[in-house]
Amino acid sequence: MPTYEYRCHNCGYDFEAVQRFEDQPLTVCPKCGQALRKVFNSVGIVFKGSGFYSTDNHSASKPAASIPETHTDTGKSTPETTSPPAAEPAAAAASAK
């Protein structure tokens, strides 16, 4: 159940009341019997842990929105070979004419 803060217009008495969402707001000060008003403050929410913000817990070398790659290690080390790119069929046909 939420906790609401109230303040009296007349005497300035501040207090908190635990009420259900369905309950009507309090209107009478318990000290002087005059009108009350609800006090609205900024919400104090703190998100702790990883994964709440895209900028949290990332190193400077990685972009913030990157998805971690999955690596499979076969245990074999083979040298990588690169082959020249194949000629495009249109370019090869044009040079043959």
pTM attached to this predicted model: 0.43
In the chain, what are the domain boundaries? Answer: 3-39
Query: 4-13, 46-55, 79-88: lowest mean pLDDT where?
Result: 79-88
Regarding predicted confidence, which is higher, 4 or 67?
4
58 pLDDT higher than 90: no
CB atoms within 10 A of CB 34: 13
